[in-house]
Amino acid sequence: MDPETALELVKHGVTLLLLDVPQYTLVAVDTQMFSVGPAFKGIKMIPPGVHFVYYSSSSRDGKEFSSIIGFFIDAGPSEVIVRKWDQQEERLIKLSEEEEERYSQAVKNLEFDRQLGPYNLSHYEDWKQLSNFITKSVIERLEPIGGEITVECENEIVRNATKMPMEDALGKQLKVGNSATSVGKSQRKGCYYTSIPHVVKCKGISGQELTSLNLDKTQLLETLLAKDYGGSEDLLLGELQFAFVAFLMGQSLEAFLQWKSLVSLLFGCTEAPFRTRTHLFTKFIKVIYNQLKYGLQKDHMGETGSALLDDSWISADSFLHHLCKGGLINVNGARRKFPFLVQ
Q: What is the pLDDT of residues 173-223, one digit of tens each?
A: 555 544 434 434 445 578 999 999 876 666 656 555 555 556 789 999 999
Q: Can you give the pLDDT at residue 308?
A: 56
Mean pLDDT of 156-169: 57
Inform me whether the pLDDT recorded for 245 exceeds 60.
Answer: yes
**Distances in whole angstroms, Cα of residue 280 to Cα of each of 11, 118, 251:** 38, 36, 27
* Residue 313 and residue 260 in contact, taking contact as beta carbons nearer than 8 Å: no
Sorted by sequence, the CB contacts under 8 Å of residue 252 that are 6+ apart come out as: 70, 149, 150, 151, 154, 174, 191, 246
Q: Provide the strand spans (E) within the chain.
A: 14-19, 26-29, 32-35, 42-46, 49-56, 69-75, 80-86, 91-93, 116-118, 149-150
Percent residues over pLDDT 70 in the chain = 72
Give the pLDDT score at 58.
84
Task: Please list the alpha-helical segments (H only) found in 185-251.
Answer: 207-215, 218-227, 233-248
Per-residue pLDDT tens digits for 8-33: 899 999 999 999 999 999 999 999 99
**Span 317-331, pLDDT tens digits:** 555 655 655 554 454
Element (H, E) at 99: helix 97-108
Question: For the residues 131-155, what does the mean pLDDT come to?
Answer: 92
**Rounded to an integer, what distance in angstroms lies between the CA atom of residue 326 and that of residue 266?**
11
Which domains are present in the chain?
3-131 (2.60.34.20), 151-175+188-327 (1.25.40.550)
Question: For the whole model, what pTM was predicted?
Answer: 0.83
Q: What is the mean pLDDT of residues 88-109?
A: 95
Q: What is the mean pLDDT of the chain?
A: 82
Q: Are 245 and 141 in contact (CB under 8 A)?
A: no
State mean pLDDT over 122-128: 95
| Pairing between β-strand 32-35 and β-strand 49-56 as defined by DSSP bridges | unpaired
Residues 6+ apart with CB under 8 A from 100: 80, 82, 94
Give the integer Cα–Cα distance in Å for 214 and 298: 37
Q: What pLDDT is recorded for position 175?
A: 57
How many helices (H) and strands (E) would you count in the chain?
Answer: 12, 10
pLDDT in tens, 292-320: 999 887 655 444 444 455 555 555 555 56
